[in-house]
């Protein structure tokens, strides 16, 4: 990573540079504590105290080295230390710290090891504490894992020894400020124009939709895009572990989970929020991700008049998504036969949108699948659109086509009833082939 590489002049060794930096940081930190500036004035105070501390060292560093020294000290005192340049880089979507010498990023869908490093494990732990302190969270050997959020909305997971054997680890999923619209997803090849038209009609017709995919496949991005189709006239309640959704509508109530306090009390879970949302007169419930017993509450709400719900879950195929839903419903604590759970799923869910991250880093909707009811003890799934892989190019790009399967979904009359009469070409019919027999006659 060019922007994170150090440019140390031959006149000063890297270890000497680090010693100077640590000395000045300690001086500035002590002086700032004495002054105790407000958050607004802190940056100005750091600048003034830093200039004074540098003058007192009697150093005369070259301009480039001094600029680098100041930048790294600012990052340490006002930002997030060595990883601040990574957080500032808009092309980086994820930052992973596996130890003091192992810092990776996801850039353009690919994992890359950076030249960023920490001086020791204690510096990483100090970074974790700086992140979680404003949120009232704690991390220590008795509570070695924590989820948090940066001021810009980025999600953070941190874990320390003894659970993390090789030292403290941090994973940061960066918050994407720019919301991708469905047209932009079409432009970058995540889905086709007909797929976008079909999904839009399904959202407006108040279908219950699940977005399924693995970690980092773009489920939340797609959920954001789908939510933009919800009419302004509807009351929307969003439920998330960490608030990431960016809904454009005015009438939105945003709910977020709350972890327990140091005594292990006071937590508010996704399930608690789903149950509470039902009492808030929602037109739509949008759940960032279902991962436990709340899935049963969500299914029951879908089956009792709260249609038009959107959510995501972790699964690799639409069939896996159904299996995962079954497992999560069993976690609800309700003693229900598997067949009854499957009937609940088949009655509640209309559509599963499967999104995958390909080997070349691109993210594509690989299947749009109708939940077509029950046949015996099995939930029937019908693919309406599918991504057909045709190979890999010489430069490693995955080749293929996003195609309709030619099957018209059973819920087509519901689309028609809401005024969305999609043409046969959306489902793969060739208009010319349909007209040729007429021309011959």
Check which CATH number belongs to the domain holding 345 and give it: 3.40.50.300
What pLDDT, on a 0 to 100 scale, did the predictor assign at position 439?
46
Asked whether residue 11 falls in the same domain as residue 102, the answer is no
What pLDDT, on a 0 to 100 scale, did the predictor assign at position 318?
97
Domain annotation covers residue 441: no
Q: Which domain does 131 fall in, by range? A: 81-175
Domain annotation covers residue 274: yes
Asked whether residue 227 falls in the same domain as residue 279, the answer is yes
What pLDDT, on a 0 to 100 scale, did the predictor assign at position 391?
87
Asked whether residue 33 falls in the same domain as residue 131, the answer is no
Asked whether residue 198 falls in the same domain as residue 266, the answer is yes
Q: Mean pLDDT across the chain, nearest whole number?
A: 85
Q: What's the whole-model pTM score?
A: 0.79
Asked whether residue 263 falls in the same domain as residue 317, the answer is yes
* Domain limit, last residue, from 78, 97, 123: 78
**In this model, does residue 341 exceed pLDDT 80?**
yes
- Please give the C-alpha separations between residue 70 and each of 21, 130, 272, in angstroms, as whole numbers: 9, 20, 47
Domain annotation covers residue 187: yes
Determine the Cα–Cα distance for residues 274 and 292; give it in Å rounded to an integer. 12
pLDDT digits (tens, 9 = 90+) for 254-279: 998 887 776 777 889 999 999 999 99
Q: What b/e sequence results for 351-373 when a residue is b if at least 16 CB atoms lie within 10 Å of its CB, and e otherwise?
A: bbbbbbbbeeebbbbbbbbbbbe
Position 436 confidence tier, pLDDT thresholds 50, 70, 90: low
Q: Where are the alpha helices (DSSP H) in 161-230?
A: 182-187, 193-204, 219-227
Pairing between strand 145-149 and 351-357? unpaired
Report, as an integer, the average pLDDT of 191-200: 95
**In this model, does residue 229 exceed pLDDT 90?**
yes
Domain annotation covers residue 291: yes
Asked whether residue 343 falls in the same domain as residue 197, the answer is yes
Report, as an integer, the average pLDDT of 245-256: 90
The domain tally of the chain equals 3
Q: What b/e sequence results for 130-157 when a residue is b if at least 16 CB atoms lie within 10 Å of its CB, and e otherwise?
A: ebbeeeebebeeeeeebebbbeeebbbe
Asked whether residue 165 falls in the same domain as residue 276, the answer is no
Q: Which CATH number is 106's domain given? A: 3.30.450.370
Please report how many Cα atoms fall inside a 13 Å half-sphere around the Cα of residue 435, on the Cβ side: 5
Determine the Cα–Cα distance for residues 365 and 196; give it in Å rounded to an integer. 10
What pLDDT, on a 0 to 100 scale, did the predictor assign at position 41?
64
Instruction: Find tokens 């099995």 and name the residue.
Output: 378
CA nearest neighbour of 236 among 282, 300, 299: 282
DSSP state, 195?
Answer: H
Report, as an integer, the average pLDDT of 47-53: 77
Pairing between strand 169-173 and 155-159? antiparallel
Its sign, for the CA torsion 428, 194, 404, 396, is: positive
Domain annotation covers residue 394: yes
Report, as an integer, the average pLDDT of 101-122: 89
Asked whether residue 142 falls in the same domain as residue 200, the answer is no
pLDDT digits (tens, 9 = 90+) for 283-297: 999 999 999 989 999
**In this model, does residue 9 exceed pLDDT 70?**
no
Please answer whether residues 194 and 186 qualify as being in contact, where contact means their C-beta atoms are separated by less than 8 angstroms. no
The alpha carbon torsion through 85, 87, 90, 94 (nearest 10 deg) reads 130
- Please give the C-alpha separations between residue 329 and each of 8, 295, 326, in angstroms, as whole numbers: 57, 6, 5
Determine the Cα–Cα distance for residues 403 and 386; give it in Å rounded to an integer. 6
* Domain limit, last residue, from 58, 78, 98: 78
Asked whether residue 202 falls in the same domain as residue 87, the answer is no
Domain annotation covers residue 365: yes
Instruction: Find tokens 């004495």 and name the residue.
Output: 34
Tell me which H or E stretch contains 405.
none
> What radius of gyration do the chain's Cα atoms show?
26
Report, as an integer, the average pLDDT of 401-427: 91
Top-confidence residue, 69 or 252: 252
What pLDDT, on a 0 to 100 scale, did the predictor assign at position 152?
81
* Domain limit, last residue, from 78, 104, 119: 78
Asked whether residue 57 falls in the same domain as residue 118, the answer is no
Asked whether residue 152 falls in the same domain as residue 281, the answer is no
Domain annotation covers residue 375: yes
Residues 6+ apart with CB under 8 A from 114: 1, 4, 86, 103, 104, 105
What pLDDT, on a 0 to 100 scale, did the predictor assign at position 56?
76
Domain annotation covers residue 293: yes
Bond before 162 cis per omega within 30 degrees: yes
Report, as an integer, the average pLDDT of 154-161: 91
**In this model, does residue 40 exceed pLDDT 80?**
no
Asked whether residue 224 falls in the same domain as residue 341, the answer is yes
């Amino acid at each position: 990573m060019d922007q994170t590489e150090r440019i140390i002049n031959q006149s000063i060794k890297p270890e000497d540079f680090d010693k100077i930096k640590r000395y000045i940081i300690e001086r500035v930190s002590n002086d700032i504590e004495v002054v105790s500036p407000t958050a607004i004035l802190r940056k100005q105070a750091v600048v003034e105290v830093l200039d004074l501390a540098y003058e007192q060292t009697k150093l005369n560093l070259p301009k480039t080295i001094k600029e680098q020294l100041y930048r790294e000290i600012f990052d340490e005192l006002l930002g997030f230390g060595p990883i601040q340049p990574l957080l500032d880089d808009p092309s980086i979507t994820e930052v992973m710290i596996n130890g003091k010498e192992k810092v990776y990023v996801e850039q353009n869908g690919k994992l890359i090891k950076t030249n960023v490093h920490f001086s020791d494990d204690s510096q990483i732990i100090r970074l974790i504490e700086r992140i979680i302190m404003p949120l009232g969270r704690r991390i220590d050997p008795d509570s070695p894992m924590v989820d948090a959020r940066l001021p810009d909305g980025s999600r953070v997971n941190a874990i320390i020894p003894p659970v993390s054997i090789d030292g403290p680890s941090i994973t940061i999923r960066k918050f994407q400020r720019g919301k991708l619209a469905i047209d932009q997803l079409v432009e970058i090849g995540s889905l086709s124009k007909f797929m976008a038209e079909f999904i839009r009609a399904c959202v407006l017709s108040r279908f219950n939709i699940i977005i399924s995919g693995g970690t980092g496949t773009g489920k939340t991005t797609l959920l954001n895009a789908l939510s933009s189709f919800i009419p302004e006239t509807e009351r929307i309640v969003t439920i998330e572990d960490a608030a990431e959704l960016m809904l454009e509508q005015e009438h939105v109530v945003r709910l977020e989970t709350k972890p327990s306090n140091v005594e292990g009390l006071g937590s508010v879970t996704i399930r608690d929020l789903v149950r509470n949302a039902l009492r808030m007169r929602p037109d739509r419930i949008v759940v960032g991700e279902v991962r436990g017993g709340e899935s049963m509450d969500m299914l029951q709400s879908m089956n009792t008049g709260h249609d038009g719900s959107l959510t995501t879950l972790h699964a690799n195929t639409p069939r896996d998504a159904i299996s995962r839903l079954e497992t999560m419903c069993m976690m609800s604590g309700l003693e229900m036969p598997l067949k009854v759970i499957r009937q609940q799923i088949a009655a509640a869910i209309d559509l599963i949108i499967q999104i995958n991250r390909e080997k070349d880093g691109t993210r594509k909707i690989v299947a749009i699948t109708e939940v077509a009811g029950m046949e015996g003890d099995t939930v029937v799934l019908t693919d309406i659109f599918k991504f057909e892989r045709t190979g890999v190019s010489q430069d490693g790009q995955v080749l293929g086509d996003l195609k309709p399967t030619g099957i018209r979904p059973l819920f087509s009359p519901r689309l028609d009833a809401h005024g969305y009469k999609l043409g046969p070409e959306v489902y793969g019919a060739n208009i010319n082939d349909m007209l040729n027999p007429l021309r011959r006659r």
